[in-house]
């Protein structure tokens, strides 16, 4: 993995050589080199390990995703701000499988750094709402779900949001029943 600034330097050098090739009359070589330079510019904005991690996550290969993310040694210097957001977003999704505190920490960082797509930010908010609900922070969970709904303009997460809201309603009603059972037990 190249540092983000090195990618730009490589792209500029390839582009300069492409211009030289076109000037020399090797137009085909120049066009091909311009396309290669475009790949390096694309990789400046979209980190290759993050792209591959999304593919691994889509296939439910959590170990492969962790392995790819571990190759990014210093995300603060190696990645742009949005890439850092996705880096922490992926870590948060991975941690939500077994460690809610760690997942919340990563997702809060992703939320602070920002993500490119609104539905990705809606997913962050929805996951944070689920974590808040599990930690009995109901008001925060409701607020985060409301924010997630406004971010999900295309309705891509509507099914997951309905399921989450049903689970939150069940969780809200469960303690009341439990408390009522305690009162009945004390009376007996």
* All domains in the chain, ordered by first residue: 1-45 (no CATH), 46-178 (1.25.40.10)
The Cα–Cα gap between 92 and 79 comes to 17
Give every CB contact of residue 122 below 8 A, 6+ residues apart in sequence: 148, 149, 151, 152, 156, 157
The per-residue pLDDT for 36 is 95
pLDDT for residue 23: 94
pLDDT digits (tens, 9 = 90+) for 34-64: 999 999 998 888 888 888 988 998 898 888 8
pLDDT score, position 2: 65
Q: Is 124 in contact with 87 (CB distance < 8 Å)?
A: no
**Sign of the torsion angle spanned by Cα atoms 85, 91, 96, 99:** negative
Supply the DSSP symbol for 89.
Answer: H
What's the rounded Cα separation, in Å, for the pair 120 and 91?
Answer: 14
* Cβ partners under 8 Å of residue 160, min gap 6: 126
CB-side exposure of 78: number of CA atoms within 13 Å? 15
Contacts of 161 (CB under 8 A, 6+ apart): 126, 145, 148, 149, 152
3-state DSSP assignment of residue 188: coil
Model pLDDT, residue 95: 87
What are the residue ranges in the chain where pLDDT is below 70?
A: 1-2, 172-188
């Amino acid at each position: 993995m190249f540092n983000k600034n090195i990618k730009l330097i490589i792209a500029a050098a390839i582009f300069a050589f492409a211009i030289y090739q076109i000037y020399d009359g090797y137009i085909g070589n120049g066009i091909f080199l311009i396309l290669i330079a475009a790949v390096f510019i694309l990789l400046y904005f979209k980190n290759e390990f993050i792209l591959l991690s999304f593919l691994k996550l889509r296939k439910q290969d959590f170990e492969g995703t962790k392995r790819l993310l571990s190759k990014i040694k210093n995300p603060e210097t190696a990645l742009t701000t949005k890439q850092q957001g996705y880096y922490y977003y992926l870590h948060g999704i991975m941690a939500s499988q077994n460690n809610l505190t760690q997942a919340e920490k990563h997702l809060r960082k992703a939320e602070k750094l920002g993500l490119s797509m609104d539905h990705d930010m809606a997913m962050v908010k929805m996951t944070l709402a689920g974590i808040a609900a599990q930690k009995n922070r109901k008001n925060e969970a409701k607020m985060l779900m409301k924010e997630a709904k406004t971010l999900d303009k295309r309705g891509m997460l509507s099914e997951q949001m309905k399921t989450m809201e049903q689970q939150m309603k069940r969780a809200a009603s469960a303690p009341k029943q439990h408390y009522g059972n305690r009162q009945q037990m004390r009376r007996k």
